[in-house]
Structure 1
Amino acid sequence: MACTDTTTDYGADGQARLRAFVEHATGGKVVRMERQVRWRPAWFVDVERGGELMKLHLRGDRGGDVAIFPELKREADVISVLGEHGIAVPRIHGYCSEPPCILMDALPGTRRVADAASDAERRTVARQYIAEVAAMHRVPVESFVARGLHLPQGAREIALVGLGAYMPHYLRTRSRPEPMLEFVIGWLKRNVPTHRTRASFIQFDSGQFLFQDGRMTGLYDFEFSMIGDPMVDLATMRMRDNYEPLGESFPVLLQLYEEFSGEPVDHEVIDFHTLQFATLGTMQFTGTVGAGRPGDEHAVYLEFDLALRQVILQAMSGLTGIRLPLEPPLSEHTGNHAALLAKLADTVSRIETPDKLQQSRQEAADKLIEWLQRADAMGTELEARNLHDISTLLGRRFDNCCAAEAALERHVQEAGPEHDETLLRLFATMEARRMHVFGPTRIGRSATQVHLPPTR
């Protein structure tokens, strides 16, 4: 059943329309509809039908201009195909196009494998998860092509299918010079694995599953799924394991994948896709990080940007063997606007927040103020050091960082591979300065914890 009304509002009117849609789709009565406290609209819904209680989930559109595949129905179609082939995913009950929402079963359980009752339970859940990933990779790609997914042809397109999908969005939304991204994009194009010629359906942003009582209950979140190299899912799993442990060490997860898939993993290709995925995530959010739009989840996107650039640097260092330099810390001092920012923080803290959703928004505002306080105190020195280094490299002076980074971007686009080490070390130095400024903030906390687990 599809809802085809013409509002995109997720407020009170939109939720009333969604409630009516759920009741029409299920033939039951909504007895609870609770907004999930997170950065995208989603609800847990209880429906009473025939004396039984259905536990459902409404997954809304993330909003803003950060979607690579803007049509949310694409994800509903993908989940339906997976379910038809026996993969453990939520059952789809319907799709509402306006406001966009997928109605599906609510999977029971938690995503935090660290909360399992024992190490033995964690190992069991990890084994079940990897078995399901291997099974997912065996689903015939033709089933997804029939639903509109692109089928890449040849080793180069298979390897860079993610870059091909993200590039139009990046070119359309970028709001500032991006010399570091241009450098990495060029490196990826020059170093494509040419021996991987089999494409599979991939979750792309993998490592997302729930479990309960020692049993994995299902995979979820297929927003970015596509057809490509199955090693992509292992690479993105590696990144997620960094902050959401998956139950076993990453080398053991890879051994389990070999067991269930019957194929050896390609360690170097996993490294390549680790770099590519972090680059794509940064490309996705750079437009809103540089020039945020009203309603964007600004604190979330700043966090993604800072952490993903750390992954890029670590992955590039591992792939090239180039050691990243150590940067001396910036000076700590009181910023020119410290008193005003303290007043703003106090004002925000005294705003009444009657529900958890409003509390989360207040917390986001607090995080942004903290970020601004660090920028006010240390941003001038950061920019001065960056200007000096870029001017030294390019042999000319610049009045501001924007002009300098635009010139650096042009230099990157023209530079050959012989300049890779110099440029990588420069970008690592500039990002180390950002980490000195923003790493101690709550937004920057995840970036300080970035560590790529070994693959062997």
Structure 2
Amino acid sequence: MQTQEDQGSADTLNEQQLRNFVEQLLGGEIISMERLLRWRPAWNLELRRGGEVLALHIRGDRGGDVSPFPELRREADILTLLGEQGIPVPKIYGFCEEPQAIIMQQVRGTRDLATAASDAQRSDLARQYVQAMAAMHQLPLEPFTAQGIGLPLGAEQISLAGLEAYYPLYARNKTKPQPLAEFALGWLRRNVPKHRTKAAFVQYDSGQYLFENGKVNALYDFEFAMLGDPLADLASARMRDNYEPLGARFSELYRYYQEVTGEAADPDVVRFHTVLFSTVSTMQFSATIATPQPGDPHDTYIEFDIALRRVVVHALAEAMGIAIETPDLKIKASGPNAQLLLMLKDALEQLEVSGEFQKSKRQSVAKLVEYLTCADAMALQLLQIDQAEVEALLDRRFDDYSQLDAALEDFVKRAGPEYDERLLRLFMAQIERRVQVYGATAIGASASHIDLPPIESH
């Protein structure tokens, strides 16, 4: 078993290997190197070379089996191709094999639009981003297919490109039933937009850009990029607007995208891709929740899981024309292990750690303790309500809570579209209750703020 000391030694070795690689690749001497407080390895560094100082960023391998495209070099190659075709992305200097990492330009700027000078500047930045997105969608596809990126053909392949990319990861790692994911998968396959027959290069996790002094300097994070329906990027940007505002109302950017491209963007297709992107994102992290692995950023994965499941339900409700309902639930503040959890919280606070990175690790544990305190108070009650509702739907009794998801998933896979509304209302009640319980915690805060912006202004 790897101890904390072993992990620290490994991190030190990795950093030294990266320092050596960068200095050999670019010449010169590293004069500063800072590990960023992120859930994946990343560093900012400065390299003195002759009379200049290069600002660099290292994007490390996230580790774990949570990506449909685990080859980090793939992202480096995509960024290189985009830069060569005039899309504003970070310049790639090289790729380190051991440990795997992309050596790239450190782009000046921030993603925090609260720092923009005015609402007018925020709106202009959002339009600059849309222009870059639209230019990306109009790139020739041959350079990407020559790089080995698959080209979907026909409406079904184009519309479901993201689903087909993520599904092998989901199927390979699935250890427990996932009734909500299976319900969404069935709905998506039954509701493919048949008129979407033109593929484009899509970022697929869009809405990410850095700006400075009123100018968008770069789009970033192309880990999940692929060829597919360009409206998928509008959908994922729409989702991101919940926690990283785009700079203008989504309905305005939706309209502006159509002006820039000269092509209509069917709002029902954007709704379809909102369901699809939230579903595959949930699938991506489902195994990390069902079967946690040592070293995982557990608090982050739980946060993703509950927030994304709520988006799946809200997106399906929007697409199906069903109103969101919040069930009545009496919240208890503490459970049978309240005193023990207080002791754990106190013991954690007494731990002295040095350095911002280790402090961030302690904070992650504190988040888990806070979440566990709510679970101690309410988890059993949530399961009892779930059982009663599943029994009513399936017209059968269960002896154990552990039987519920397997039986529900089996029913979902066999049920026809006539059950769509009843099933959605069941999943809606389940997730809305959990947000009531956990929404006030640091882990549950993202889920409590889910609110898909309107596609069209009225």
Q: TM-score, normalised by structure 2?
A: 0.96
Q: CA RMSD in A?
A: 1.3
Answer whether contact 1:307 1:444 (CA < 8 A) is retained. yes
Alignment deviations for residues 270-311 of structure 1 (CA, whole Å, 9 cap, x no partner): 000001000001000000111110011111111111111111
**Aligned equivalents of 2:186, 2:10: Cα separation in 1:** 40
Q: Which amino acid aligns with 1:13?
A: L
Query: For residues 3-18 of structure 1, what are the structure 2 equivalents within 5 Å?
Result: 11-18=11-18
Counterpart of 1:117 in structure 2 is 117
Matched residues in 1 for 2:156 and 2:382: separation? 39
Query: Which aligned pairs between 1:266-305 and structure 2 lie closer than 5 A?
Result: 266-305=266-305
Q: Report the counterpart of residue 88 of structure 1 in structure 2.
A: 88
CA-to-partner distance for each residue in 1:403-423, whole Å, 9 max, x for gaps? Answer: 111011101100000011111
Give the CA deviation at 1:400: 2.1
> Could you tell me how far apart the structure 2 residues matched to 1:148 and 1:355 are?
42
Deviation at 1:331, TM superposition (A): 3.6
Residue number in structure 2 paired with 1:381: 381
Q: Which amino acid aligns with 1:196?
A: R
**What CA distance in whole angstroms lies between the structure 1 residues aligned with 2:403 and 2:23?**
56
Determine the structure 1 residue equivalent to 2:75. 75
Question: What does 1:417-456 align with in structure 2 at a 5 Å threshold?
Answer: 417-456=417-456
Match of 1:29 in 2: 29
- 8 Å contact 1:330–1:436 — kept in the other structure? no
Aligned residues: 449
For 1:59 and 1:330, the matched residues in 2 are separated by: 45
- Residue pairs, 1:41-80, within 5 angstroms: 41-80=41-80
Cα distance per residue 1:8-61 (max 9 Å; x no partner): x96111111100000011112111110011100000010000111000000001
Asked if structure 1 preserves the Cα contact closer than 8 Å seen for 2:159 and 2:192, the reply is yes
After TM superposition, list the pairs within 5 Å mapping 1:295-334 onto structure 2.
295-334=295-334
Note the 1:45-444 alignment, pairs <5 A.
45-444=45-444
Per-residue CA distance 1:188-247 (angstroms, 9 max, x = gap)? 000000101100000000000000011111000000000000000000010111111111
Q: Which amino acid aligns with 1:60?
A: G
Q: Which amino acid aligns with 2:50?
A: G
Within 2, Cα distance between the matches of 1:29 and 1:274?
46
In 2, Cα distance between equivalents of 1:401 and 1:85 = 55
Letter in 2 for 1:291: T
The Cα of 1:138 is off from its aligned counterpart by 1.3
8 Å CA contact 2:333–2:374 kept in 1: the answer is no
Unmatched runs of 5 consecutive residues or more in structure 1: 1-8
SS in 2 for 1:11: helix
Alpha-carbon distance, 1:119 to partner: 1.5
State the one-letter code of the partner of 1:417.
P
Q: Is the 8 A contact 2:326 2:433 kept in 1?
A: no
Contact 1:10 1:99 in 2 (8 A): no
How many angstroms apart in 2 are the aligned matches of 1:332 and 1:119? 42
Could you tell me how far apart the structure 2 residues matched to 1:248 and 1:392 are? 45
In the aligned structure 1, how far is the partner of 2:107 from the partner of 2:331? 49
Contact 1:113 1:247 in 2 (8 A): yes
Q: Distance in 1 between matches of 2:378 and 2:450?
A: 23
Residue 55 of structure 1 contacts residue 106 of structure 1 at CA under 8 Å; is this kept in 2? yes
- Cα displacement (A) at 1:399: 2.1
Distance in 1 of aligned mates of 2:357 and 2:330: 36
Deviations 1:250-283 (A, max 9, x none): 1111122122212122211000000100000100
CA distance in 1, matches of 2:253, 2:334: 47
What is the alpha-carbon distance in structure 1 between the residues aligned to residue 318 and residue 408 of structure 2?
A: 24
Quick one: distance in 2 between partners of 1:345 and 1:260? 53
Decide whether the 8 Å contact of 1:87 with 1:136 is kept in 2: yes
2: CA distance, partners of 1:425 / 1:172: 29
Is the Cα contact below 8 Å between 1:236 and 1:274 reproduced in 2? yes
- Supply the AA of the counterpart residue of 2:232: V
Q: Secondary structure at the match of 1:359?
A: helix
> What secondary structure, in the 3-state scheme, does the structure 1 residue paired with 2:15 have?
helix
SS at match of 2:31: strand
The answer to whether the 8 Å contact 1:177/1:402 transfers is no
**TM-score, L = length of structure 1:** 0.97
CA distance in 1 between counterparts of 2:188 and 2:445 reads 28
Counterpart Cα distance in 2 of 1:330 and 1:166 = 38
Cα deviation code 1:65-99 (max 9, x no counterpart): 21211100000000000001011001100001221
Paired residue type of 2:236: T
CA contact (8 A) 1:209 1:219 kept: yes
Deviation at 1:172, TM superposition (A): 1.1
Decide whether the 8 Å contact of 1:141 with 1:200 is kept in 2.
yes
Task: Go from structure 1 to structure 2 and tell me whether the alpha carbon gap of 1:66 and 1:10 turns closer, same or farther (over 3 Å shift).
Answer: farther
In 2, Cα distance between the equivalents of 1:326 and 1:91?
A: 47
Give, in whole Å, the separation in 2 of the partners of 1:183 and 1:376: 29
What's the CA shift for 1:442? 0.8
Partner residue, 2:19: 19
Q: Distance in 2 between matches of 1:224 and 1:120?
A: 31
Residues in 2 aligned to 1:319 and 1:134: alpha-carbon distance in whole angstroms: 25
Letter of the 2:388 partner, please give it: H
